[in-house]
Structure 1
Amino acid sequence: MDEVRTLYPDAYKICQQFEIDQHKMEEIILRMTREISMGLAKDTHSRATIKCFVTYVQDLPTGRERGRYLALDLGGTNFRVLLVTLESESTVNIDGKTYGISKELMEGSGVKLFDFIAQCLSDFCKDHKLENANLSLGFTFSFPCKQLGIDNGTLVAWTKGFKADGVVNKNVVELLREAITRRGDLKVQVVAILNDTTGTLMSCAFTRQNCKIGMIVGTGSNACYVEKTSNVEMFPGYQNSPKPHMIINCEWGAFGDNGVLDFVRTRYDVEVDSHSMNPKKQIYEKCISGMYMGELVRYILVELMDRDVIFKGVKSQTLQQRGKFDTRFITEIESDEPGKFRNAAMVMDNLGIRTSNEKDLMCLRYICETISTRSAKLAACGLVCLIRKMNVKDLAVGIDGSVYRFHPHYHRLLMQNMNLLLNGTVRFELVLSEDGSGRGAALIAAVCAKD
């Protein structure tokens, strides 16, 4: 850091703008807690940026669930059909197939999209001789949904490049059931809809009964947690529910859409946001997730190269193009051993900048570390906010997503910043959740089957 400060004062100054100290982190937690309380309350729910959607999932796995279940996982340009066999707490067999969704399907009619999903489900069942098995299916649908029941989820808005007509404000479970009925060749019961965070929590809770939070840090970011049912005013009958707990889908990516995060945002964040598909929306997510981290690094690099501060005399047409500095490059660059810059040189070579200048590559790594450290600090604020909200002293957090899974230091950065904020008051562990959206969907189907 001192070397960057001395050799590249301009780069150091830019990176300082992304620094979030403990005082600011506590302020973020305070503001986030306020938004969560607003999201849970009937009177303020409509104004809250963190919507705290009711999932209608009130039972967590006990570890004793058994049997065969189907899972559908739709959350991006690929979707999966899975057959999950729960044999024991330690033995879960998953057999699945991934199908690609074309741009035409993403942007065409909703009927065609769901017909395609039903066709893939039918093909999968035929391949596995399950046409007449009448299995329960959990549907992981990782888009903002308002739930009106365990099997009733209304799409609030498409994200991740989807624009299919006639789906927003519709119950997507019903659209799937209708598509299955149109085929007439399947015996499948769609029993539950969930998003990937709920699946992550459920998957982790199968082996760790103290799992109370599920978090995704990947292309996007979101979290869910276990709330007291008596606090969930958006749940009909919340005051006298026989079940004490409810999983809440925070949809925390929209935190800051009302300006409450502006005090930690930089002009680079504003720039990335203004050129995104959804300007002024999902502000917290845009500071944290994989869809935007690489773009932040690219903006900083382009500015420094324009000022002739780094990679002097070299021009790159590729780097001038939006989205060309992939977030996986950050992971690769930070995976280099200390003092070594092999990956960094290869990444820049891919982007049209051939260099062996180790000082420039050290500065590049410092920029990447700045962006990933801030991401982890903000994610740590979110987790600590939920832990304090639940007032628990011992818990597991199930986490999934490409950033957490593949970044070499993300786990350590989360632990470090959570420990700083919790200061030994809570025992916690962060667990990489095994296939939350697949196994988790099957576990919800299993839990529903018991009711």
Structure 2
Amino acid sequence: MWGRGFASRHWRAFRASAFGATTAAAAALALPASGIVLCETKPAPSREARFGLEGLKEVGKRSPMEAPSLPSGDIKERWSLVQKDWSLTKPQLDKMVSSFLDELQKGLESRGTAGCFKMLDSCVTKIPTGNETGVYYSIDFGGTNLRVARFELKGDGKIKGDALKANLMTAGPPTAQKGLMDKTVSAREMFDHMADQVKQKIEIHGDAAEGPISVGFTFSFPSHQVRLDHSALAVWTKDFETGRGTDDPVEGQDVGALLKRSFKEKKIPADLKAIMNDTVGTLLSCAYANGGQRDFPPVYMGLILGTGSNGCYLEPQSASYGYTGNIINIEYGNFNRDLPTTPQDRDVDFNCDDPADRGKQLYEKMVAGKYMGELARRLTCFVLQESAPTLAWAKNSFPSEAASIVLKDNTADLSETAAVIQKYWGEPLPFESRVFLKGICTLVMDRSAALAAMGIAAVSIKTGRLERGRSSRDRGVLGMTVAVDGSLYTQNRWYADRLHHYLELILGRDRARLINVCTSNDGSGMGAAILVAAEEQN
């Protein structure tokens, strides 16, 4: 359940890493081990030539599929330009770290009303020790799949659990086109369904006789939390509209009260004790596991690097800023200062699914897995131009999963890349173009890793754990642990290595070695159960 081996190797003997090995593909276009083509630098093209397919538009004046005349130029010249725009230097990263720290402080002092970070209070005051025991339930709700899990905490950082899953799009009234996500579905209907899932799980394990079961609730939507079991939904995201077409909306209501009402009316022996988001859960789940590993430093940061990206951290001076809890949910995807945005980034932002999201979450759009494939597609159209497959010009025609396959393709003829191109774009590409596509996917993922490392570095500096001397509270261990969940990091060894490389570049080897990374599977669900246990037992 825990990726401790990989993390400990980096903690005990941190090593700088190179890009994955390549074979004959490297020789074809002087492709080094990085997977990126190196070519002779030619005179810089005009300003207009710095823009790709959709970077030449004036905002709002044409659709995503309109293709203006592209600047002429050798393909390697365009590739050289892309390398320059997408490769981050230490001065760039250092400047972003400084701005990130400035925004963190601004957000703390204003309680999230100034600057780009919301700096939300988690209301969490108890950090798990790893010694907590007992049976606890959790509800993990952050997307189309609802998960109800039962966890048995055994102490010494050990935990065992299993989950019941339900798809919200297939549940609900037959007339609801989007299931329980539909605007015609009331808040009561949605939360009654959640309560029924908890009841089913309790009956499966025969836990009803034990009395009210303590439940933690991971609710990963923008909310305003005023106490541990009270969190009001600000606005739905992720295509949810539940309640908007009824007189019983979810938005503006306390989701804790809605769930408690359903438990009570259905006479379900469950007691909601805490609500949190997935980043806090990741931090707490790793803190519990860390309790049984005395040679690791305490957990000070939780990080999601998956489809989306967000971070939270333990703020030592939280009380002095008026916070109830000591874990602050940064909502750091909205960072927007000194970012190295490219024409492709601006196109992705402008053409986001919801026009209301334009100009928002710019950092997340450059880091999170959701955007990697689309960024790679737009770069491919710019570099290959008329040689790009016809379907490559269609928005969202290259998913992030495809970019990940291309990135990891180390076959001599890039046959895995060829299969991906055929699957999504329906026509073959010559070997040289496949090499360029691999280089493009490498650049996109590498920049994401660099920016993620920048955020970790800034938060680590903010905690003071890279500078502070030893203290009895922290078990005499200098440094800090970062808890990470999300497939972009946990399922991609190459990405993880590059992130650690950039931590070293930013912080220097000695300070980078003070950061241990703990990977968590199901941190969001597990963390909710652990939080309740810590609140009850500590």
- Verify same fold: TM over 0.5: yes
| Equivalence map 1:12-411=2 (5 Å) | 12-42=80-110, 45-89=112-156, 91-102=158-169, 103-108=178-183, 109-133=186-210, 134-165=212-243, 166-184=249-267, 186-209=268-291, 210-230=298-318, 233-235=321-323, 246-256=326-336, 260-261=337-338, 263-276=339-352, 277=354, 278-305=357-384, 307-308=385-386, 310-311=387-388, 314-316=389-391, 319-337=392-410, 339-355=412-428, 357-393=430-466, 394-411=479-496
Question: How far has the Cα of 1:340 moved from its partner?
Answer: 4.7
Question: How far has the Cα of 1:132 moved from its partner?
Answer: 4.5
Residue 90 to residue 202, structure 1, CA distance change in 2 (3 Å): closer
Residue 253 to residue 395, structure 1, CA distance change in 2 (3 Å): same
Q: Matched residues in 2 for 1:395 and 1:187: separation? A: 39
Q: Matched residues in 2 for 1:110 and 1:36: separation? A: 35
Deviations 1:89-108 (A, max 9, x none): 25311111111111232232
SS state at 1:425 partner: helix
Contact 1:331 1:408 in 2 (8 A): no
Deviates more, 1:138-147 or 1:1-10: 1-10
One-letter code of the match for 2:206? K
Contact 1:199 1:441 in 2 (8 A): yes
Q: Matched residues in 2 for 1:93 and 1:408: separation? A: 26
Q: Matched residues in 2 for 1:143 and 1:414: separation? A: 27
Among candidates 426, 434, 438, match of residue 521 of structure 2 = 434
Deviations 1:10-36 (A, max 9, x none): 233234322221111111111111111
Gaps of 5+ in 2: 1-28, 32-36, 40-74, 170-177, 244-248, 292-297, 467-478
Question: How far has the Cα of 1:356 moved from its partner?
Answer: 5.9
Same amino acid, percent of matched pairs:
29
Q: Matched residues in 2 for 1:95 and 1:123: separation? A: 13
Question: How far has the Cα of 1:162 moved from its partner?
Answer: 1.9
Q: Matched residues in 2 for 1:352 and 1:5: separation? A: 26
Q: Matched residues in 2 for 1:405 and 1:70: separation? A: 25
SS state at 2:156 partner: coil
Q: Matched residues in 1 for 2:257 and 2:123: separation? A: 17
Could you tell me which residue of structure 1 aligns to residue 63 of structure 2? none
Contact 1:41 1:232 in 2 (8 A): no
Residue 24 to residue 338, structure 1, CA distance change in 2 (3 Å): farther
Question: How far has the Cα of 1:358 moved from its partner?
Answer: 2.1
Contact 2:242 2:250 in 1 (8 A): yes
Q: Matched residues in 2 for 1:16 and 1:162: separation? A: 39
Residue 48 to residue 157, structure 1, CA distance change in 2 (3 Å): farther
Contact 2:319 2:326 in 1 (8 A): no
One-letter code of the match for 1:253? G
Q: Matched residues in 2 for 1:300 and 1:232: separation? A: 47
Question: How far has the Cα of 1:5 moved from its partner?
Answer: 4.4
Residue 90 to residue 35, structure 1, CA distance change in 2 (3 Å): closer
TM-score of the aligned structures, taking structure 1 as reference length: 0.90
Contact 1:334 1:368 in 2 (8 A): yes
Could you tell me which residue of structure 2 aligns to residue 241 of structure 1? none
Question: How far has the Cα of 1:274 moved from its partner?
Answer: 1.3
Aligned residues: 431
One-letter code of the match for 1:145? S
Q: Matched residues in 2 for 1:70 and 1:232: separation? A: 33
**Match status 1:414 vs 2:492:** no
Deviations 1:218-276 (A, max 9, x none): 1110111111244652425xxxxxxxx711111101111xxx24x51112111111121
CA RMSD of aligned residues (A): 2.0
Question: How far has the Cα of 1:158 moved from its partner?
Answer: 2.2
Residue 12 to residue 162, structure 1, CA distance change in 2 (3 Å): farther
Q: Matched residues in 2 for 1:27 and 1:325: separation? A: 32
Question: How far has the Cα of 1:339 moved from its partner?
Answer: 4.3
Question: How far has the Cα of 1:157 moved from its partner?
Answer: 2.7
